[in-house]
Amino acid sequence: MNPSEMDHLVDRHIAAEMAGDTAGSVAVYTDDVEHDVVGSPTGPLHGKDAAQGFYEYLTKNFQTETMHPVHRYYGDDFCVIEHETTGTVPGEFLGVFGNGRRVSFRMIHVWEFRDGLISRENIWLDGGAIIDQLTTPEHASVAG
C-alpha cells in the first residue's frame, strides 16, 4: 500500500472513533485484526468483535476532541503516526475516574496493513501525563 492509501484508512478509522461510531471504527480492519493497547489488562485483542468491544468501552469513558498527527513514518505495509490527543474523561481512563476532566497527551499508533485493510493497530500512550492530569488538583481548574 502507498502512504495515501494508508492515510485514508487511518483517517476513516479515527473519524469514526471520534464520532462514537464503533462499527465504523472497525470497518477498516481485517476480520482477524490484532488490536493492542500496550499496558491494557486485557492484552492484545483479536478479531473485529473484540476490537469493537474495546471501542464501545472507550467511547463511553473517553470523548476524543482532537487527534492531531505530529509525525508520520511509512514502510511497505505499515505506518507509524505520532498524535497529540485531547479529550474529556466522563468515565474511567487508565483505571482513574475522570469526573469530566479534560486531558492532553501524546500517542503513538503503529498500523499494519494487509489486503487493503488494517490488520494490526498497536497503541502506545503517555499514561503518566494522563494520570497526572486526572489526579493532580491544579489540573482540575485548567482542564475543566
- Give the residue numbers spanning the domain of 13: 3-143
pLDDT at 40: 87
pLDDT tens sequence across 28-65: 999 999 999 998 888 999 999 999 999 999 999 999 99
- The dihedral built from the CA positions of residue 93, 94, 95 and 99, taken in this order, carries a sign that is negative
Q: Per the structure, how many domains does the chain have? A: 1
Q: What angle do CA 35, 78, 41 make, to 5 degrees?
A: 20
The whole-number pLDDT of residue 144 equals 47
Q: What is the pLDDT of residue 20?
A: 92
Kindly report, residue by residue over 91-125, the tens digit of the pLDDT.
999 989 999 999 999 999 999 999 999 999 999 99
CA distance 45 to 48: 9
User: Could you tell me the CATH number of the domain that includes residue 88?
Assistant: 3.10.450.50
Model pLDDT, residue 143: 47
pLDDT in tens, 15-32: 999 999 999 999 999 999
The answer, yes or no, to whether residue 128 has pLDDT greater than 70, is yes
- 3-state SS class at 66: strand
